[in-house]
Amino acid sequence: MIVRTSEPVRVAVLADTHLRGSVERLPVVVRRELEAADVVLHAGDVLDRGALVDLTRLVGDRPLHVVLGNNDHELVGMLPDRLEVSIAGVQVAMVHDTGARAGRESRMRRWFPTADVVVFGHSHEPWNAEGRDSQLLFNPGSAVQRRRQPHRTMGVLVLGDGEIVEHRTVVVDDEDE
């Protein structure tokens, strides 16, 4: 799918939400970012059909792109392992697991030779760094399970005219925590 507009496109990026049946446990900050987004990406581990249906309902008529995670057993055959889309002239690739940290940059350039951005998940570790040949490697972390990270996180990309205008990790810990 190609998303083109003359205005920059705001992309909300999630991964590893591990929500069973619904997205009710998404933090308030995530819901706000989803409402503000033009496109939503989810880099795997949605968990089940109910959560995917609920996320689709929450996103509404805006584009939602989701890849299969290692815990998405119920979604095998429904979601692709890898996906490449063009958003505002920027080539975006998605995969859940990039493999070991060692060699990641070269591996992503081999897997996705034309991608400007590779969105991935699996580790729950936010990663926002330039890889080989200026390819952006972007893991939003997890908005629900922080594991060994200090905060729960998600990502935001702003894309326009074939350029990555902005890329940032957003802390989504609710105010009452």
Share of the chain above pLDDT 70, in %: 94
Give the pLDDT mean for 150-174. 94
Q: What is the pLDDT of residue 132?
A: 77
CA–CA dist 75, 69 (Å, integer): 9
Residue 118 domain-assigned?
yes
**How much is the pLDDT for 149?**
83
Neighbours of 18 (CB within 10 A): 19
Residue 93 counted as domain residue: yes
CATH number of the domain that residue 71 is part of: 3.60.21.10
In a domain, 163, yes or no: yes
* DSSP conformation letters of 46-112: -BSHHHHHHHHHHHTTS-EEE---TT-GGGBTTB-SEEEEEETTEEEEEES----STTHHHHHHHH-
Q: Is residue 176 part of a domain?
A: no
Q: With 60 as the cut, is the pLDDT of residue 177 above it? A: no
pLDDT digits (tens, 9 = 90+) for 68-111: 999 999 999 999 999 999 999 999 999 999 999 999 999 999 99
Q: Is residue 152 part of a domain?
A: yes
29 is in which domain, residue-wise?
A: 2-171
C-alpha torsion 24→28→31→37, nearest 10: -160
At residue 3, the pLDDT reads 53
Strand pairing class (153-160; 136-139): unpaired
pLDDT number for residue 155? 97
* 106-139 residue pLDDT tens: 999 999 999 999 999 999 999 998 877 899 999 9
Q: Please tell me the predicted confidence (pLDDT) of residue 30.
A: 95
For the entire predicted model, the pTM comes to 0.92
Number of folded domains that form the chain:
1
CA proximity to 125, closest of 92, 144, 147, 98: 147
**Residue 160: what residue type?**
G
Distance from the Cα of residue 6 to its chain's centroid: 23
- Residue 28: pLDDT over 50: yes
Residue 177 lies in a domain: no
The pLDDT of residue 1 is 53
Q: What is the mean pLDDT of residues 29-55?
A: 95
